[in-house]
Amino acid sequence: MSDNFELLKSDNYILLFEKDTFTVGRFQELCSEQFRSKISLTQNKSMVIFDQLNRGFYLENKVFINLNSSKWESVSEEIECKLLKIGDSDWCKGKLRVKSYVDFLPEEYRGYQYNSQSF
């Protein structure tokens, strides 16, 4: 995979997949709905995994490493599409890569503020 991909954040772009078009925002909404649907079907298993990851661990039964969040990231295969920036007259042919990630913050850490001055 190439690292020359541009992050598409705004609705100033239209994506074209064969005959179907979406604004970037609508495409993100539809992807989010699919991810939410898949997660809700396996929510219990997912939460157990995150719960176990966030419990922390001991190094050689001496030093406790407290983990306060976990991150899961997924990347799609590259998808052929065209991109049009609103206001431009020509479509740009290229590949789209969808990335998703899930951050989990345990309830007991909500509101916690890191203070670098305390070290």
Is pLDDT above 90 for 2? no
Give the whole-angstrom CA distance, residue 48 versus residue 16: 39
- Cβ(82)–Cβ(19) below 8 Å: no
**pTM score, two decimals?**
0.59
Is pLDDT above 70 for 6? yes
Give the whole-angstrom CA distance, residue 117 versus residue 49: 33
Which residue type, as a one-letter code, is found at position 89? S
- Cβ(15)–Cβ(27) below 8 Å: yes
Q: What is the pLDDT of residues 37-87, one digit of tens each?
A: 666 665 555 555 666 666 666 656 766 666 666 666 667 788 889 999 999
- CA distances in angstroms from 66 to 83, 110, 112, listed in the order given: 44, 15, 14
